[in-house]
Structure 1
Amino acid sequence: MTTLGTATAAPGEQATGRLTVGEARDGSEVALPVCVINGERDGKTLYVQAVSDGDELNGLGVVQRLVPRLDPADIAGEILIVGIVNWYGFQVAEHRNPIDDTKTNRAYPGNETGTTSERIAHATFSAGVGADLAVDLHQGSTSQMINEVRVRCGRRHRLHRECLDLAKTFDCGHILDQRGPSGQLARALPDEGVPTIDPELGGAVGWDEESIRYGVRGMMNVLTDYGFLDGTVAESKQTRASGFDQYGSPAGGLVDLHPELGDEVARGDTLFEITDVFGSVKESVTADSSGIFWRARRLPQVAQGEYVCSVGTGVDSY
């Protein structure tokens, strides 16, 4: 039998249920939606979660499309899924948990008796720590961003190669290979011996069909390449970046971006211009380094000093 929260499945079965993580302000139970898929054959255990940032819905779209495609009769091993991690943020469509003003993906490995976010982190971390590999589905929040996968353990970590290979298998075409901030699941689980990746499935507000398709394909790649499903996955080269150059606006006005997301840029190329409301150019900003145009703000209006875009740097092929 395989159990996660109230979901219990025997070999060859699938079950859904809830994982209790605390109580709301009215004393009602707060419980995350979970799914267990227990394959008919023995194999590895995969842990998957989505919406640890409450307004990042593309990962939930992946879960919604993926689960109906999976027949336990075809699967070797076990798949544990938490469909919505940041329950509080999801209810009000906010990035952070509004109860404790915390970004849930900075609270791992969590604390069983801590804040609401720490309790959620503890419960979901405990679900993932016994797995053989893990995928934490994200998106670029309110910014526009290429589809990419993040390896957050750091290049000196003992599981770096395993995490990098997992990211390559997921195959969004782009990998950010940069040690992440403390408290991220993709940093905490590798310390417990679980290779973990953080796919960032596009960006901007809403439910992006193209990015969801990338995510479903990526999950099917992982399930196939790691033996949960029969078949083979064609290996493809990935564009890898080791960091970002971030650019703010030197003036207030409207942003006119020059490259498209995913374009190569060279040092000195114009990244954007700032115009006034009548179209006159006030400032022009060029790239400090060569790289890939990775991320940009969604709306054109910008204050002086406000974030505009990022260029992925230290680019190579993996």
Structure 2
Amino acid sequence: MTISLGTASAAPGERDIGRLEVGQARDGSTVGLPVCVVNGVSDGKTLYVQAVSDGDELNGLGVLTRVVPQLDPASMSGTVIVVGIVNHFGFQVGKHRNPIDDTKLNRTYPGDEHGSTSERIAAATFDAAKDADLIIDLHQGSTSRMINEVRVRCGRRHRMHADCLQLAKVFGCGHVFDQKGPDGQLARVAPDEGIPTIDPELGGSVGWDETSVQKGVEGMFNVLRYYGLIEGNVDLNPQTRARGFDQYGSPVGGLIHFRKDLGDRVVAGDVLFRVTGPFGEEKARVTADSDGVFWRCRRLPQVATGEYVCSVGTDVDEY
């Protein structure tokens, strides 16, 4: 059966790229998101993948530039449907939110075809995603520093939780954050349609980070193999799971000196960071409230009083 998305249309054994129209820009020109359909020669699962719903998160796009060219529809089962850049307007100016309506696009799913710019983009992409068997929404921790992890956002009481958690384990970043997400996230909404969905957060960087991009490439091929779209075996490794976050701000203004690195185990009472003045004079030390994993931290050293500094993943286990 021929599979189409926007102007991309592929018969079994074919690949095609095109554009998915989502409205018009301020000059009246058509806005089309880049899309690709890779249609295998035999029946199988449909995997929907998207990236850059936050306009400054580019590691997911880096993953797609490496994975898609390696997909051979002549040896595939099932279909891979890809939207390469969801937040068109944010991507153009390197901004996290959609500057047209000042909205975080990944809070607008399932969207509204008659709504705001972000809601219309969400509606168009969700219409493509909702017929899939699996969904991967590629993200990163914005431009702050963060470990490579996968988020399961449906909530632990959701009927699809086990399936989403398994998909996260197959992707295999090593760390999983398992907590119900905010309203309007694709990874929160799609499981309501019965579709296992994950939200890989591939590190955090300005531009592309090679280590995180490669981790995402490996994760994508793990999924493709495990769910039978391409041939090959997958070794499932235990994942370190956090089910909560403790966030820490600075009690004073100054310069941050971290005492923990990303991925380090943290014990309650450990010093997470020191704050000094411009000549190294110590002004404060901040310690961990709970055991966990050093998960995320700010990139720049300078902080004002109360400004965010870092996060520790808590309620940690392995599965």
Structure 1 residue 218 displacement after superposition = 0.1
Match of 2:114 in 1: 113
Structure 1 residue 211 displacement after superposition = 0.3
The 5 Å alignment of 1:235-246 reads 235-246=236-247
Q: Amino acid of the residue matched to residue 228 of structure 1?
A: L
In the alignment, the residues of structure 1 paired with residue 236 and residue 113 of structure 2 have an alpha-carbon distance, to the nearest angstrom, of: 41
5+ long unaligned stretches in structure 1? none
1:181 maps to 2:182: yes
5+ long unaligned stretches in structure 2? none
Structure 1 residue 204 displacement after superposition = 2.3
1:312 maps to 2:277: no
CA RMSD of aligned residues (A): 0.4
Q: Amino acid of the residue matched to residue 69 of structure 2?
A: P
Q: Amino acid of the residue matched to residue 281 of structure 1?
A: E
Match of 1:233 in 2: 234
Match of 2:215 in 1: 214
Match of 1:93 in 2: 94
- Could you say what secondary structure the match of 1:242 adopts? strand
Structure 1 residue 231 displacement after superposition = 1.3
TM-score (norm 1): 1.00
- Could you say what secondary structure the match of 1:167 adopts? helix
Aligned length: 318
In the alignment, the residues of structure 1 paired with residue 64 and residue 99 of structure 2 have an alpha-carbon distance, to the nearest angstrom, of: 24
The 5 Å alignment of 1:134-213 reads 134-213=135-214
Structure 1 residue 206 displacement after superposition = 1.4
What's the % identity of the aligned pairs? Answer: 69
1:262 maps to 2:285: no
Match of 1:16 in 2: 17
Question: 82-91 vs 226-235, which deviates more?
Answer: 226-235
Q: Amino acid of the residue matched to residue 191 of structure 2?
A: P
1:80 maps to 2:101: no
In the alignment, the residues of structure 1 paired with residue 99 and residue 27 of structure 2 have an alpha-carbon distance, to the nearest angstrom, of: 15
Residue by residue over 1:188-245, the C-alpha shift from the partner in whole angstroms, topping out at 9 and shown as x without a partner, is: 1000111100000000211101100000000000000000011110110000000100
TM-score (norm 2): 0.99
Structure 1 residue 142 displacement after superposition = 1.4
- Could you say what secondary structure the match of 2:230 adopts? coil
In the alignment, the residues of structure 1 paired with residue 245 and residue 50 of structure 2 have an alpha-carbon distance, to the nearest angstrom, of: 26
Structure 1 residue 74 displacement after superposition = 1.5
In the alignment, the residues of structure 1 paired with residue 244 and residue 122 of structure 2 have an alpha-carbon distance, to the nearest angstrom, of: 26
Q: Amino acid of the residue matched to residue 159 of structure 2?
A: R
